[in-house]
Amino acid sequence: MTTEKTKTETKTEFPKAEPNPFAPFAALDPMAYWTASQQTFQKMVLDAYGRAQAFAEQYAAMESQFVSRAQQAVSNWAQLTSEAIAYGAQLSAEARKLSFETARRMGVGA
């Protein structure tokens, strides 16, 4: 009878240590992020400038319409005022004429 001894070996495997502890962050490039953020900021500013310019052009068109309508309103008001003054003068002349005719009929001037 032969007795065989079996060696039980327990192997504990340790994870291999990275030579550089910052290796997972090697893809982190602050200058690339800086450049990307500056490009994004520049695009945002240019878009805002474009929207502001479009708003200014739209405002200028509305302002032009406002000025045109204001000038038309003043012109209409001036015409109405002129006609009102002429009508007042006409009524005054008619009133004088009627008062003299009424006075003549009553025998004041006869």
pLDDT tens sequence across 65-109: 999 999 999 999 999 999 999 999 999 999 999 999 998 888 865
Per-state percent for the chain, helix, strand, coil, to nearest 5: 70, 0, 30
In degrees rounded to 5, what are phi and psi of residue 91? -65, -40
Query: Would you say residue 55 lies in a domain?
Result: yes
pLDDT exceeds 80 at position 7: no
Which residue, chain included where needed, has tokens 């209409």?
A: 76
Check residues 23 and 32 and name the one with the higher pLDDT.
32
Token digits for 107?
């025998």
Query: Would you say residue 28 lies in a domain?
Result: no
pTM for the predicted model, two decimal places: 0.48
Check residues 2 and 101 and name the one with the higher pLDDT.
101
Domain that residue 86 falls in: 40-105
The count of domains in the chain is 1
Query: Would you say residue 30 lies in a domain?
Result: no
Token digits for 57?
């052009």
Query: Would you say residue 83 lies in a domain?
Result: yes
Query: Would you say residue 93 lies in a domain?
Result: yes
How do residues 25-39 score in pLDDT, each as one tens digit?
667 778 888 999 999
